[in-house]
A and B are shown apart, each in its own frame.
Chain A
Amino acid sequence: MTRPAPVADSPFDAAIIGGGVIGCALARRFTLEGARVVLIERAADVLDGASKGNSAILHTGFDAPPGSLELACVQAGYREYLDIHESLNLPLIRSGAMVIAWTEDEATALPDLIAQARENGVDDVEPLTVAGVRALEAGLGPGVRAAFRVPGEYLVDPWSAPHAYLRQAVENGARLMTSAALLSAEYDGAAWHLDTARGPVRARFAINAAGNFGDLVDEILHGRRDFTLRPRKGQFVVYDKAAARLAGHILLPVPSKITKGIVVCRTAFGNLIVGPTAEDQDDRARAELVPETLAALMRRGEEILPGLKGMEVTATYAGLRPATEFKDYQIRAHDGRAAITVGGIRSTGLSSALGTARHVWGLAQGMGLAGRPVAAPVVPRMPALTDEGTRDWQCPGNGGIVCHCEMVTRREIEAALSGPIPAQTLAGLKRRTRVTMGRCQGFYCSAELARITAGRLAVPMTGDADIGSETGGGHADD
């Protein structure tokens, strides 16, 4: 693959390192505030790290530590999502959540959790009797001791949201560089000189949003780190759409000190997920699935919802949360170096991203980054991927359905392969369109998809198979 020409001579106001949900939200906020932004992503496509696998819940912050930065960012992010989701055509499934105690110990913990929720300003939580729980969720298994309801916990699309943030940034002037791992960096007192795998970049500010690599990027930028990442793996099982009837609410367990515990909930796409596990590991990039763990998740899921027994598994996945030795977010301004580290965003990044971005913009302003907000910003409309909106297959001229399980049309795939932030990998195409994400997992549509994507992805779908294109048989290294 040929390297593109080096990025323009005049420096950017801010280089954001990391194209996860946080980096995408930062790119949007900084751009809307008038900064010239470049987003640098090491992988071939965005959302390839911590942001590719989460539970897709928009949290109220009811269980966040009172007074924490995490709580402030989650609540600001929650409010902004509610404000902007309609204009960006992002889904919001107002499912509500239920925190369920399955043991006496857990039941005794509920009053404190309710008090904490109220302290956090989530004052519509509602204690439920066992009969009240059953009336709302008839499919629950035996053993419910007590529960309370959190009406404001919602389901969202974990990929369309960050894609929308990034797209709005790019359509209003931001620049995206993928396959651009940060190799070295130097600050000369006025600007950062970043050397990336795609060439040099100059920027006044360097914002580290590198997720599971945040400490390593700080080493490159500053020669030191203030925290150490130890990724926490979470495995999930996704059940077939038929299972989504079994639960209306997000079914949360009573959280422990380490993890929010195993959640059972619908997804915005009409499936049902069980997960995540919480497994600390050293590897920052590989999230391996473990069959025994998946089977244990399924058993737990079947205890919570007995109707899950025999339901078909549609998908399995594992995500890595950027956990550090600290409980709270690690957001730090590096005085005198025009840099901000946005690290340790463990498991609430999707909920907090918009709020975190506002907080970081505030820090940057305090360090002298000023801008004139974009007067009439472009507001992209994202494709409707959930049954909440009118899907493309329902509209004329869609070119026909390619992925029958998820009802993805040819026109939707073409749009995701072009446009302002085109898909670079099959995984990226899946996140943008849901193609092959359904129950057959590509049994029926892989062949057609390989034909459509031939020569158009940075990482081809089928090995050396871009037969007919002039790529010389190799594929992009990353």
Chain B
Amino acid sequence: MTDLRPLCDLAIIGAGPAGLSAAVAARAAGAGHVVVLEREAEPGGIPRHCGHSPYGMREFRRVMGGRAYAARLAAEARAAGAEIHCETSVIAIHPGGRLLVSTPKGAMEIGARRVLLATGCRETSRAARLIGGEKPGGILNTGALQGLVYLQGITPFRRPLIVGSELVAFSALLTCRHAGMRPVGMAAPEARPLARWPAGLLPRLMGVPFWGRTRIAAIHGHDRVTGVTLEGPDGPRDLACDGVILSGRFRPENALALTGHLEIDPATRGPVVDSDGRCSDPAYFAAGNALRGVETAGWCWAEGRRIGVAIAADLARGLPSPTLTVAAEGALAYALPARIRPGSDGLPDLQLRAARPLRGRLTLTLDGTEILSRTISARPERRITLPLSILPAGASGRLVVRLEEGG
């Protein structure tokens, strides 16, 4: 591996699906010196430690395991001429593309004409969930569990409780089965699993009870987890278990943006971007789950590819500024991107999420004129997309997207 040079055209932070696909696309579209900075020892991101899930359908038209998929993404990026630097952490970002970087050889500063934040997302920790009780060992997010099982061959517990019912909760269930763990059950605040069929059938197939409308009130144990108190429809009850897997509730890993100078969208917790993926400092772009938690690897890959093309265009000839601002109203949790340049080749859709499950009317108005209105059935964990191609070319002004109950 060559040493990291002090100057580059594009520095991509994070070698997951979004970052690696952006590297390939940017190189193919003519970007010069492209480096991918990865803090882990191997490229690939989260799929690297998912041994089981189906990856690669969208990207390579075949079903792959996570590790093979990650390796393929990295190989493509290298073949496209991008340099991947592992064990290389970006410590801080500064205006204009200056990055403070740590390598095993020590710290250095590099300058990049453009920077892509492709730092992915992570699950919400026990602390941020404000779960009560003690703080014994044996409380893990799915990501940490999969790292232990698939990367280190370690079985951290035998009879864990799985908390949550998003798709990742079922990934945790499969990870448990792979390692010979027998979960005592799955508990989630929702009445029915949030994940789409057929994942929701898995617990029954595996003989693991699913407890809906249930929250975890307290964790017990001094050194190791000895049990939990659950609060369900029938009141509180104690349950013995030797571990707790806290799954889902993904949030962008946005530490660099947050402690740096970029504008953050409080709704997505990711950096504010326009439809080219450009941040409040135009030297910075963002793609993938750094924008919001959580989409699939395939979605992030596609997003990275498009933003990679946009960055190459920006490097070559500059990108025009966005002309539309976006406001999310009513029962919408967020709308992404926050600014739009009609005709942009970047993000193809307005990405929306509902704040709560509801049937209602989704409207899009441009400076008071309604462009679109449709009835939808929305659930917070499911994405809603509106293609930006419906916007008139050259449109400018204020775009309001609104979700209202009923209608």
Contacts and interface: CB of A to CB of B under 8 A. Distances in A.
Query: Are A and B co-members of a single complex?
Result: yes
Given A442-B140, A442-B144, A447-B148, A407 B102 contact: yes
Interface residues of B, number: 53
B266 interface: yes
Contacts of A397: 104-106
B222 A286 contact: yes
B223 A425 contact: yes
B127 A313 contact: yes
Given A407-B89, A465-B155, A443 B143 contact: yes
B122 A440 contact: yes
A216 B87 CA distance: 50
Interface in A320-347: none
Interface in A445-464: 446-448, 450-451, 454, 459, 461-464
Nearest to B156: A462
Contact of A289 (B107, B131, B155, B251): B131
Interface string B129-167: 011111101101101100110011111111000000000
Interface in A387-422: 393-401, 404-405, 407
Nearest to A405: B255
Interface string B76-99: 000000000001010100000000
A354 interface: no
Contacts, number: 153
Contact of B130 (A238, A294, A405, A465): A294
A219 interface: no
Nearest to B149: A447
Contact of A450 (B126, B156, B251): B156
B381 interface: no
Between B140, B154, B269, the greatest number of chain A beta carbons within 10 A of the residue's beta carbon is seen for B154
B218 interface: yes
A393 B135 CA distance: 28
Contact of A447 (B104, B132, B152, B222): B152
Contacts of A478: 223
Given A291-B130, A443-B125, A444-B143, A400 B104 contact: yes
A426 B156 CA distance: 14
Contacts of A288: 132-134, 218
Among A404, A407, A459, A463, the most chain B Cβ lie within 10 Å of the Cβ of A463
Contacts of A443: 122-123, 125, 141, 143-144
Task: Say which size band chain A's interface belongs to.
Answer: 35 or more
Contacts of B151: 447-448
B315 interface: no
A441 B125 contact: yes
A400 B107 CA distance: 11
B316 to A, nearest CB: 33
B132 A242 contact: no
B353 interface: no
A315 B130 CA distance: 9
Contact of A242 (B123, B137, B217, B258): B258
A312 B223 CA distance: 27
Interface string A349-388: 0000000000000000000000000000000000000000
Contacts of B251: 312
A467 interface: yes
Contacts of A67: none
A462 B107 CA distance: 33
Contacts of A398: 104, 106
Nearest to B216: A291
Contacts of B137: 426, 459, 461-463
A315 B135 CA distance: 11
Nearest to A451: B152
B259 interface: yes
A291 B144 contact: no
A314 interface: yes
Given A396-B104, A397-B105, 11 more contacts: A289-B133, A294-B130, A312-B258, A400-B104, A401-B102, A426-B137, A442-B140, A447-B148, A447-B152, A450-B156, A462-B148
Which 6 pairs across A and B sit closest by C-beta, in order of nearness?
Answer: A447-B147, A441-B125, A446-B144, A462-B156, A396-B106, A394-B107
